[in-house]
Amino acid sequence: MSLTSYIIRRLLYVIPVLLGVCFLVFLLFNVVSPDPTISMLGKHATQAQVLELREVLGLNEPLHIQYFNTVKSAFTFDFGRSWSTKQEISEMIKSGAIPSATVTFPAFIISFLLSVSISLFVAFYRGTFFDRAAVVVCVTLMSISSLVYILVGQWFFAFHLGWFEISGYEEGFPDVVPYVLLPILIIVVLSVGPDVRFYRTIMLDEIYQDYVRTARAKGLSEKVIMFKHVLKNAMVSIITYVVLKIPFLILGSLLIESFFGIPGLGGITLKAVNSSDYPVIKAMTVLSAIALIIFNLLTDVLYKVVDPRVQLK
């Protein structure tokens, strides 16, 4: 099957998958979850107030109409208005996308390059002190809560040493730099531990394959084997791991954005959860599903680019 035909077929699969996601989202927020009008008005609200608010929010419409509206919003990206802020949700998403990307994507690129470099180094010196020390450091980094990094970073590096801004956000470069450096650094520290362990395992699996022994028998140096053969063959697994992390980066980091006052998608989502703003939560859930579907497709396409032997079926 050609690459174009495969992409077209996978894009057609998006329709039933998205319908199923919309059904689950609708079921969770419109059927299973408690009446949001009670949490918005309080337990002392009268029946008349509840009915009036349900009419305003469109919750008194038949369930099939509400489900159709959920599906329509997923395909048109028109998610209506927020219950708490009364803003257009699409505009909220547009305004929050740039602050989230300003923090998450630089952190993603830095952590990826750093993790792959460290993994190559420890795999090259496998079994030595450097390898064992890297494993211990990675496990230690993974064992510490993200809240500890955030609070210590804000208190010691921002407040005590004054190297960074404690909280806030300024649009435009270079005004934004002092506000995002510490969040980026914390995300990198949080990512390096699990990433290095994963990449190291993949590379060690490749090192013990027959083709590596053959390359050594031909007299190739360890550096050539690591960079030309091991890294290339490990890229299929690395691509899967990396590409599927991107949708979560798009939504931003809930804790990071909340503690550092960054008006990104993570902060928008957290505020929506706290205020029971179901339209915003549903919008973020649907966008997450769409992003995962798209990047799953991108992963399969990149398999073919990295390794021409991969057959798309």
Which H, E and C letters describe the chain, residue by residue? CCHHHHHHHHHHHHHHHHHHHHHHHHHHHHHHCCCHHHHHHCCCCCHHHHHHHHHHHCCCCCHHHHHHHHHHHHHHCCCCECCCCCCEHHHHHHHHHHHHHHHHHHHHHHHHHHHHHHHHHHHHCCCCHHHHHHHHHHHHHHHCCHHHHHHHHHHHHHHHCCCCCCCCCCCCCCCCHHHHHHHHHHHHHHHHHHHHHHHHHHHHHHHCCHHHHHHHHCCCCHHHHHHHHHHHHHHHHHHHHHHCCHHHHHCCCHHHHHHHCCCCHHHHHHHHHHCCCHHHHHHHHHHHHHHHHHHHHHHHHHHHHHCCCCCCC
- What are the residue ranges spanned by the domains of the chain? 3-76, 97-275
Residue 35 confidence (pLDDT)? 67
What's the mean pLDDT in 134-160?
A: 87
Residue 114 confidence (pLDDT)? 92
Residue with tokens 């923090």: 103
* pLDDT at residue 97 is higher than 70: yes
Nearest to 183 by CA among 273, 288, 254, 247: 254
Predicted confidence (pLDDT) per residue in 139-150, tens digit: 888 888 888 888
* pLDDT at residue 189 is higher than 80: yes
As a whole number of angstroms, the distance between CA 138 and CA 134 comes to 6
> Taking phi first (over 0 means left), then psi (-120 to 50 degrees means alpha), and beta for anything else, what does residue 82 get?
beta
Who's near 18: CB < 8 A, 6+ residues apart? 71, 74, 75, 286, 289, 290, 293
* pLDDT at residue 307 is higher than 70: no
Residue 239 confidence (pLDDT)? 81
Highest mean pLDDT out of 123-132, 171-180, 192-201, 233-242: 192-201
Identify the weakest region by mean pLDDT among 31-40, 174-183, 259-268: 31-40
* pLDDT at residue 63 is higher than 80: no
* pLDDT at residue 48 is higher than 70: yes
Residue 121 confidence (pLDDT)? 86
Predicted confidence (pLDDT) per residue in 213-258, tens digit: 888 888 888 778 887 788 878 887 888 888 878 777 766 577 888 8
Residue 88 forms beta bridges with which residues? Answer: 81
CATH class of the 97-275 domain in this structure:
mainly alpha
Residue 81 forms beta bridges with which residues? Answer: 88
As a whole number of angstroms, the distance between CA 30 and CA 70 comes to 10
Residue 250 confidence (pLDDT)? 65
* pLDDT at residue 41 is higher than 70: no
* pLDDT at residue 195 is higher than 80: yes
Which H, E and C letters describe 174-241, residue by residue? CCCHHHHHHHHHHHHHHHHHHHHHHHHHHHHHHHCCHHHHHHHHCCCCHHHHHHHHHHHHHHHHHHHH
